[in-house]
């Protein structure tokens, strides 16, 4: 499809970019419901002359990513998103309407450069020598992966096993019983007492790598665990804090001749400027799914920075994998809805598979160049990034940890000192 111009409601023009073809077979049912949803949500954004009841042919769907121009470009960005073109008919997918339905996370689909700018800043003071993942020899490496039974964690487990690593995978449903090098520990990490049990049971003294990939996204309505903690906060951040406190002092005690200190990798979205809400980490005063999740994003970055200072016997690092093709976003949309399937299809155009991410990131996890650089964060390509500016303030980091500890005490769990 060639690039063309489309008029806006304010008289400005948008230059549409290259079309992205949609797979016709899996698209039809999603598109029909999406079209109806768009029209019902925001009929004012329907191009003139369109009839929301008319049948659109399903043979040739395309999505144009526009670049908004003109003095009202930001406002237009809020109002309109990708241009869906189908059988000669077109409709703007309204970002503002979608935001009202599914939260600011849908901004990642926004084609506007102003809103899609990468907030992460490169840390040019640190680089590491990349090696071919296929050449890695991981014999004797002892690894624990919290969240190792699904998504990114499982992909890393399955990547490391045939290269000689011994892996402990912590999760709820084990799918790799046929793999002899992966040991399963069943746990419900939405419960802090379970997290504490796992932390105490892990053989931290002998581990070379500990990788946290556990995480969810919050749903449309606030969910609370049996211990009174907002569910996303419990799974995606506080369970990690509990486990780090249990294993931190013991890391490396039984590996005195090791060439590197034990390493702990905490996966999240570090470096994006999120600082959380210290006065409402449990999302009790107000609840918005994106605000609630940003509390966990800030918490995981704080955990890396705080632990790097607290435990000199180990090295702690943050990982920002970007968007990966997993089912982590299901809960965000209230289940396997049509909107969820459409969003996953859109993200599928740019997101990596868990397997490709595991192949890309594993050489970083074992690189000798990381030694002595505890506290460094890395983006989806393994490039060093700077921490969020406010989190470089140790007093704020300490206040965040104190607020986390206070929340934990409400759950009846006392963190190891």
Q: Which domain CATH number covers 392?
A: 3.40.50.720
- The answer on 142 and 61 residing in a single domain is no
What tokens appear for 109 in the block?
């689909």
**Per-residue pLDDT averaged across 8-20, rounded?**
32
In sequence order, the 6+-apart residues with CB closer than 8 A to the CB of 90 are 6, 47, 83, 84
Out of 74, 109, 144, pick the residue that ends a domain.
109
Strand partners for 5:
15
Question: What is the radius of gyration, based on Cα positions, of the chain?
Answer: 23
Q: What is residue 414's predicted lDDT score, i.e. its pLDDT? A: 82
Q: Check pLDDT > 60 for residue 309.
A: yes
Q: b/e map of 355-374 (b: 16 or more CB within 10 Å)? A: bebbbbbbbbbbbeebeeeb
- The answer on 341 and 250 residing in a single domain is yes
The pLDDT-based confidence of 97 (bands split at 50, 70, 90) is very low
**Per-residue pLDDT averaged across 51-58, rounded?**
36
Q: Check pLDDT > 70 for residue 138.
A: yes
State the DSSP H helix or E strand holding residue 180, giving kind and residue range, or none if neither.
Answer: none
Structural domain count, the chain: 2
Residue 128 lies inside a defined structural domain of this protein: no
Its domain, for residue 57, covers 5-109
Q: What is residue 117's predicted lDDT score, i.e. its pLDDT? A: 42
Strand partners for 318:
266, 377
- The answer on 274 and 235 residing in a single domain is yes
Residue 124 lies inside a defined structural domain of this protein: no
Residue 123 lies inside a defined structural domain of this protein: no
Q: What is residue 331's predicted lDDT score, i.e. its pLDDT? A: 67
Q: What is residue 21's predicted lDDT score, i.e. its pLDDT? A: 32
- The answer on 220 and 351 residing in a single domain is yes
Strand partners for 51:
none
Bigger pLDDT: 121 vs 35: 121
Alpha-carbon span 357 to 293, nearest angstrom: 22
Q: What is residue 257's predicted lDDT score, i.e. its pLDDT? A: 76
Q: What is residue 120's predicted lDDT score, i.e. its pLDDT? A: 83
Predicted TM-score of the model (pTM): 0.72
Q: b/e map of 11-36 (b: 16 or more CB within 10 Å)? A: eeebebeebeebeeeebeebbeebbe
- The answer on 332 and 377 residing in a single domain is yes
- The answer on 82 and 185 residing in a single domain is no
Residue 319 lies inside a defined structural domain of this protein: yes
Total Cβ atoms within 10 A of residue 178: 6
State the DSSP H helix or E strand holding residue 48, giving kind and residue range, or none if neither.
Answer: none
Task: Write the burial class of residue 312 (CB in 10 Å: 0-12 exposed, 13-18 middle, 19+ buried).
Answer: exposed
- The answer on 322 and 183 residing in a single domain is yes
Residue 114 lies inside a defined structural domain of this protein: no
Q: Check pLDDT > 70 for residue 40.
A: no
Alpha-carbon span 219 to 236, nearest angstrom: 13
- The answer on 99 and 147 residing in a single domain is no
**Per-residue pLDDT averaged across 5-12, rounded?**
32
- The answer on 224 and 101 residing in a single domain is no
User: 116-121 long-range contacts, Cβ below 8 Å, gap at least 24?
Assistant: 119/271, 119/272, 119/273, 120/271, 120/272, 120/320, 120/379, 120/385, 120/386, 121/271, 121/385, 121/386
Asked whether the beta carbons of 27 and 345 are under 8 A apart, the reply is yes
Alpha-carbon span 417 to 82, nearest angstrom: 51
Residue 417 lies inside a defined structural domain of this protein: no
**Per-residue pLDDT averaged across 92-114, rounded?**
34
Task: Write the burial class of residue 156 (CB in 10 Å: 0-12 exposed, 13-18 middle, 19+ buried).
Answer: buried
- The answer on 140 and 93 residing in a single domain is no
Residue 415 lies inside a defined structural domain of this protein: no
Q: Check pLDDT > 80 for residue 367.
A: yes
**C-alpha closest to that of 80 among 159, 165, 16:** 16
What tokens appear for 281 in the block?
């980490």
- The answer on 291 and 220 residing in a single domain is yes
State the DSSP H helix or E strand holding residue 302, giving kind and residue range, or none if neither.
Answer: helix 289-310
Residue 118 lies inside a defined structural domain of this protein: no
- The answer on 143 and 40 residing in a single domain is no
Task: Write the burial class of residue 113 (CB in 10 Å: 0-12 exposed, 13-18 middle, 19+ buried).
Answer: exposed
């Amino acid at each position: 499809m060639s690039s063309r111009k489309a008029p806006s409601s304010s008289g400005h023009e948008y230059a549409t970019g290259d079309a992205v073809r949609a797979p016709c077979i899996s698209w039809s049912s999603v598109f029909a419901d999406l079209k109806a949803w768009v029209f019902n949500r925001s009929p004012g954004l329907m191009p003139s002359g369109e009839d929301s009841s008319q049948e659109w042919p399903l043979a040739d769907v395309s999505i144009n990513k526009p670049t908004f121009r003109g003095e009202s470009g930001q406002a237009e960005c809020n109002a309109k998103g990708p241009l869906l073109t189908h059988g000669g008919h077109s409709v703007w997918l309204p970002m503002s309407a979608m935001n009202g339905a599914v939260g600011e996370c849908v901004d990642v689909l926004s084609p506007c450069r102003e809103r899609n700018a990468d907030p992460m800043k490169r840390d040019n003071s640190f680089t590491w020598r990349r090696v071919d993942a296929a050449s890695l020899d991981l014999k004797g490496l002892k690894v624990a992966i919290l969240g190792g039974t699904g998504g990114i964690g499982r992909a890393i487990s399955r990547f490391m096993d045939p290269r000689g690593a011994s892996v402990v995978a912590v999760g709820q449903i084990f799918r790799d019983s046929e793999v002899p090098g992966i040991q399963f520990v069943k746990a419900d990490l939405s419960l802090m007492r379970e997290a504490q049990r796992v932390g105490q049971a892990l053989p931290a003294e002998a581990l070379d790598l500990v990788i946290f990939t556990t995480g969810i996204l919050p749903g449309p309505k606030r969910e609370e665990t049996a211990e009174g903690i907002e569910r996303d906060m419990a799974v995606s951040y506080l369970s990690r804090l509990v486990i780090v406190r249990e294993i931190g002092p013991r890391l490396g005690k039984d590996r005195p001749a090791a060439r590197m200190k034990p390493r702990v990798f905490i996966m999240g979205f570090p470096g994006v400027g999120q600082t959380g809400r210290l006065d409402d980490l449990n999302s009790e005063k107000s609840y918005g799914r994106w605000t609630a999740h940003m509390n966990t994003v800030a918490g995981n970055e704080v955990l890396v920075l705080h632990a790097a200072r607290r435990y000199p016997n180990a090295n702690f690092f943050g990982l920002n994998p970007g968007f990966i093709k997993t089912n982590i976003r299901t809960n965000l949309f209230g289940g396997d809805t049509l909107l969820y399937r459409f969003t996953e299809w859109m993200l599928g155009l740019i997101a990596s598979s868990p397997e490709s991410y595991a192949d890309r990131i594993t050489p970083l996890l074992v690189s000798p160049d990381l030694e002595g650089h505890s506290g460094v964060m890395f983006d989806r390509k393994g490039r060093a990034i700077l921490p969020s500016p406010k989190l470089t303030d140790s007093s704020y980091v300490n206040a965040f940890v104190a607020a986390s500890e206070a929340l934990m005490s409400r759950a009846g769990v006392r963190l190891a000192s």
